[in-house]
Structure 1
């Protein structure tokens, strides 16, 4: 098993766990997973502000490792949301990254 396989297996397991423990109708659950991304991005912002001590009342309240952790939460949340939206999340992501790379870096 490769890292990529392990990542997607874990994402699929997390999505299934959320599905099993969800009382919302499927459409609402999908929308809430999309909104969860905003919450996670807000936590990244909070961690960055805390890491640089931007809030004089709180001072330095986070570390750059906290920022890394919050960014990982954003990535995993996005992958789970993508997996909820499409059954081929892996293929969708790989194709999108390939298009981004070609647009930015030119043909491989």
Structure 2
């Protein structure tokens, strides 16, 4: 992720803080719940892309799934930025841990 991306995420977090009437504790909770809402939209789009609901047929395209996945990522980033002022650092540290654990040569971990 670029610094510019995280700057945009911080601007979105600030915008949300200014626009909603939630207390800081409520904002944290609501932003975590927003992730679940967006995950549900991914599922809905994926089901629509494969015409899993006979009543609705093919109601979505795979580009809809891509967009909904982006919304999950964005919502997660805003939620993380709501929890910590060092969201970029926390995220990078986690990426590094997962990469080290997952990409380490066999037998060395």
TM-score after normalising by structure 1: 0.94
* 1:100 counterpart residue number: 98
Q: CA deviation at 1:25?
A: 1.0
Distance 1:71 1:88 in 2: 23
CA deviations 1:51-74 (Å, max 9, x no partner) are: 000000000000000000000000
Structure 2 unaligned runs (5+)? none
Q: Does residue 69 of structure 2 align to residue 66 of structure 1? A: no
DSSP-derived class of the 1:54 partner: coil
Q: CA deviation at 1:22?
A: 1.4
Q: CA deviation at 1:38?
A: 0.3
TM-score after normalising by structure 2: 0.93
Paired residues in the alignment total 105
Q: Please identify runs of 4+ aligned residues in structure 1 that moved more than 4 A.
A: none
What RMSD over aligned residues (CA atoms) do the two structures have, in Å? 1.1
CA deviations 1:19-71 (Å, max 9, x no partner) are: 00110111011101001000000000000000000000000000000000000
* 1:50 counterpart residue number: 48
